[in-house]
């Protein structure tokens, strides 16, 4: 006789488990603890088996019968419900393991190694805020270009540059998925031209010698803290990236050998870098040494044990009246040196590129090591500092 809800509720636990039959192989098993489990008895290839359909009352009588009928349809087609459930669970687990977010976080954990926290934080926040909420749970292999385009256009409505950077990050994730066998291709390539065009803006710089002179004179007249004054004066001479300069540590310097060796982990390209020090730079460092040599950092910040904060040199330039949007930034000293060393002083471009810590390769495509052309670069750095001094001299003192 078929079960009813009343009969099920009235079923009390006994010392041993017992069954209350419904129909078509469905029954309720009552445990000594009081738990009530739905089971289905069925046969596959002549063997009798049991299949769990859930726990009462979470699974009602009506739902248990619905699940029973679904399982019986599988049996009728020669499919074992237990095996089918296991395969479905494994497929779901595989799909979850291959979701965009899982793959993206796996890629990110490998990609971020050796990169600055500031840069990596921007990338993961961009993905978490703008991409994961819509595509994170989707299996990599199932995502189609129009789905990503919808996500990117949502970002584009707010910031075109961010949309392009998000597309670039998604492409990196896709290529990683292809490499690890979880996608067949980078589908972001199909979105070429779909977003509003955007080109990266170059850092503002001053490259005209007639304008460099007044800039240097203004910089030498800066009236802020001595550490900032030294960083500001040294920046155009060594033309490093701002973070590479402000995070300089005394242990990296050999003042007697006029040499600054920056370890790979502090460089953008993750290659160790050598900066030959001109007489002018050595003078700046030796004057600063008594003030900050008791700590780690050359350019000590206001907080104990910390370097100058990010953007300090740019702030100093703004104080002097130079717009870091239109005139010059701390990063702009690199473009200044790159242009003038080539066009005005005629130094070899490969020497300049080496000193900028750009990737430079030999005719066979191999990267040069950090000591390549070191003597020539030493002469170039001294000539550069001498040239800056001539430009800085008041007009009436110029020969």
Q: Are residues 369 and 261 in the same domain?
A: yes
Range of the domain at 22: 5-86
Inside any domain, residue 201: no
Inside any domain, residue 304: yes
Q: Has 331 been annotated as catalytic?
A: yes
Average pLDDT, the chain: 89
Q: Are residues 221 and 174 in the same domain?
A: no
Please write the tens of the pLDDT for every residue from 68-85.
999 899 888 888 888 878
Interatomic CA distance for residues 355 and 333, integer angstroms: 13
Cα–Cα distances (Å) from 306 to 11, 27, 238, in that order, read 72, 71, 22
The catalytically annotated residue of 241, 315, 348, 373 is 241
Q: Has 125 been annotated as catalytic?
A: no
Q: Has 358 been annotated as catalytic?
A: yes
The catalytically annotated residue of 331, 338, 354, 377 is 331
Position 396 confidence tier, pLDDT thresholds 50, 70, 90: low
Q: Are residues 81 and 106 in the same domain?
A: no
The catalytically annotated residue of 164, 237, 334, 392 is 334
Whole-number pLDDT of residue 190: 94
Inside any domain, residue 91: no
Q: Are residues 260 and 343 in the same domain?
A: yes
The catalytically annotated residue of 18, 222, 368, 387 is 368
Q: Are residues 78 and 111 in the same domain?
A: no
Q: Has 268 been annotated as catalytic?
A: yes
Inside any domain, residue 197: no
Inside any domain, residue 107: yes
The number of distinct structural domains making up the chain is: 3
Beta bridge partners of 254: 259
Structure pTM? Answer: 0.55
Domain boundary residue among 86, 116, 132? 86
Please write the tens of the pLDDT for every residue from 355-375.
998 877 655 555 556 678 899
Three-state DSSP class for 48?
strand
The catalytically annotated residue of 9, 86, 279, 358 is 358
Whole-number pLDDT of residue 398: 45
Which strands, in side-by-side order, build the sheet including 273-276?
Answer: 253-254, 259-262, 273-276
The catalytically annotated residue of 105, 112, 154, 268 is 268
Domain boundary residue among 22, 54, 86? 86
Position 304 confidence tier, pLDDT thresholds 50, 70, 90: confident
Q: Has 12 been annotated as catalytic?
A: no
Q: Rounded mean pLDDT of 93-108?
A: 81
Whole-number pLDDT of residue 231: 96
């Amino acid at each position: 006789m078929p079960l009813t809800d009343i009969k099920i509720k009235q079923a009390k636990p006994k010392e041993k488990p017992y069954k209350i039959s419904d129909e078509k192989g469905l029954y309720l098993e009552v445990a000594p603890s009081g738990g009530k489990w739905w089971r289905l008895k069925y046969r596959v290839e002549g063997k009798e088996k049991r299949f769990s359909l859930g726990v009462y009352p979470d699974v009602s009588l009506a739902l248990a019968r619905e699940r029973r009928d679904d399982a019986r349809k599988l049996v009728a087609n020669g499919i074992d419900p237990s095996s089918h459930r296991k395969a479905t669970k494994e497929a779901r687990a595989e799909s979850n393991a291959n979701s965009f977010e899982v793959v993206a976080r796996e890629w990110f954990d490998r990609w971020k190694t050796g990169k600055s926290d500031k840069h990596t934080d921007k990338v993961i926040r961009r993905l978490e805020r703008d991409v994961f909420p819509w595509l994170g749970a989707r299996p990599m292999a199932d995502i189609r270009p129009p789905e990503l385009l919808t996500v990117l256009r949502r970002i584009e409505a707010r910031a075109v540059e961010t949309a392009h950077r998000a597309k670039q990050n998604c492409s990196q994730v896709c290529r990683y998925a292809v490499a690890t066998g979880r996608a067949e291709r980078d589908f972001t390539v199909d979105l070429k031209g779909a977003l509003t065009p955007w080109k990266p803006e170059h850092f503002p710089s001053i490259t005209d010698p007639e304008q460099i002179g007044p800039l240097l004179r203004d910089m030498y007249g800066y009236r802020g803290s001595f550490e900032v004054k030294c960083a500001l004066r040294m920046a155009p001479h060594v033309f490093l990236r701002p973070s590479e300069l402000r995070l300089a540590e005394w242990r990296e310097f050999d003042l007697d050998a006029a040499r600054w060796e920056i370890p790979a982990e502090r460089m953008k390209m993750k290659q160790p870098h050598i900066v030959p020090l001109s007489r002018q730079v050595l003078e700046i460092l030796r004057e600063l040494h008594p003030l900050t040599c008791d700590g780690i950092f050359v350019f000590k910040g206001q907080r104990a044990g910390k370097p100058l904060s990010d953007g300090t040199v740019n702030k100093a330039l703004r104080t002097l009246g130079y717009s870091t949007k239109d005139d010059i930034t701390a990063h702009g000293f690199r473009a200044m040196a790159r242009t003038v060393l080539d066009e005005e002083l005629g130094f070899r471009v490969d020497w300049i590129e080496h000193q900028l810590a750009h990737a430079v390769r030999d005719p066979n495509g191999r990267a040069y090591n950090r000591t390549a052309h070191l003597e020539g670069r030493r002469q170039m750095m001294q000539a550069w500092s001498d040239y800056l001094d001539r430009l800085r001299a008041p007009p009436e003192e110029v020969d």
